[in-house]
Structure 1
Amino acid sequence: MTGLILVGHGNFASGMHSALRLLNGECEGLVSIDFQEGTSFEDLCEQLNKEIDKFENDKVIILTDLPGGSPFKAAALATFQYDHVKALTGINFPVLMEIALSKDYTEDIDQLIAQSIVNAREALMEIKLEA
């Protein structure tokens, strides 16, 4: 099993988790961590590492909301600490859905991440209604 850990500011992670659950039911191996106001960076790192440790030797993908923030930095540190952890930042809902629905059917996590990035770019579009 590949573990997924969503991390983001405010209720970003739990909100994305909730939306995925609404559309697809519960996703095994998906954890969300909300980085709330008043939480220290050290506490965030500790909570993230605790969740990673639950997956033992399974592959883990950490998905964060935006580059440069504390969740991003905590994820980056985790990729240095754990050989079985990958991280992706700037995620959106199509990325989450694709990874969550495909993670247990692929052995090549790097390919899954790369394809998810391509598909996310294609999913981003302006809505124009023509009369």
Structure 2
Amino acid sequence: MKDIILATHGNLAFEFKKTAELIVGHIDNIQCFGMTKDKSAVEGQKELENLIKNTDEDNLIILTDLYGGSSNNICTELLLKGHHFQLLSGLNLPLLLTFLTIDSANMTSKELVKQLREAGVAGIIDVSEKIERGVASDD
């Protein structure tokens, strides 16, 4: 089983987990980290390292909300210091739900990240444009 850490600004990670649990039920393999204005980068890094300690890094994927944001930067620093989890930025609900529903038992973490990335991008739909074209459902 792959483990996941959601690392975001504020309480967004915790809310993503709560929202996903509304849809799929209780989730055991997700930990959450929230970077707040009251938390220094050093404190944030220590907190993330403690979360990572509880995982098998070969099967860990960290999802962040914003490339270049504080959570993503801390995770990038951890990779540069020798950690070896997979890091993917751009967390959205379709991406997270794919992680929770896909059969990833025979996938490497890199293969799973590729699938998650595709699901995240596919979840972005210009509904206004679809309506303008007169398309009510998927093309």
Superposition deviation, residue 57 in structure 1:
5.4
Superposition deviation, residue 102 in structure 1:
2.8
Q: In the aligned structure 2, how far is the partner of 1:47 from the partner of 1:101?
A: 28
Determine the structure 2 residue equivalent to 1:92. Answer: 92
Q: In the aligned structure 2, how far is the partner of 1:89 from the partner of 1:67?
A: 5
2:9 matches 1:6: no
Q: In the aligned structure 1, how far is the partner of 2:3 from the partner of 2:36?
A: 22
The code of the aligned residue for 2:63 comes to L
Q: In the aligned structure 2, how far is the partner of 1:95 from the partner of 1:24?
A: 14
Q: In the aligned structure 1, how far is the partner of 2:98 from the partner of 2:36?
A: 26
Q: In the aligned structure 1, how far is the partner of 2:106 from the partner of 2:56?
A: 19
SS in 1 for 2:127: coil
Superposition deviation, residue 52 in structure 1:
0.4
Superposition deviation, residue 119 in structure 1:
2.2
The code of the aligned residue for 1:45 comes to Q
Of 27-36 and 121-130, more deviation after overlay is shown by: 121-130
The code of the aligned residue for 1:92 comes to N
SS in 2 for 1:105: coil
2:40 matches 1:40: yes
Determine the structure 2 residue equivalent to 1:29. Answer: 29
Superposition deviation, residue 101 in structure 1:
2.6
In the alignment of these two chains, the number of paired residues is: 130
Ranges in structure 1 where 5+ consecutive residues have no aligned partner:
none
Change (3 A) 1:30 1:99: same
Based on CA coordinates, which of the two structures has the bigger radius of gyration?
A: 2
SS in 1 for 2:6: strand
1:1-131 paired onto structure 2 within 5 Å? 1-56=1-56, 59-80=59-80, 81-83=82-84, 85-102=85-102, 104-128=104-128, 129=131
SS in 2 for 1:117: helix
Ranges in structure 2 where 5+ consecutive residues have no aligned partner:
135-139
The code of the aligned residue for 2:118 comes to V
TM-score with structure 2 setting the length: 0.84
The code of the aligned residue for 1:82 comes to H
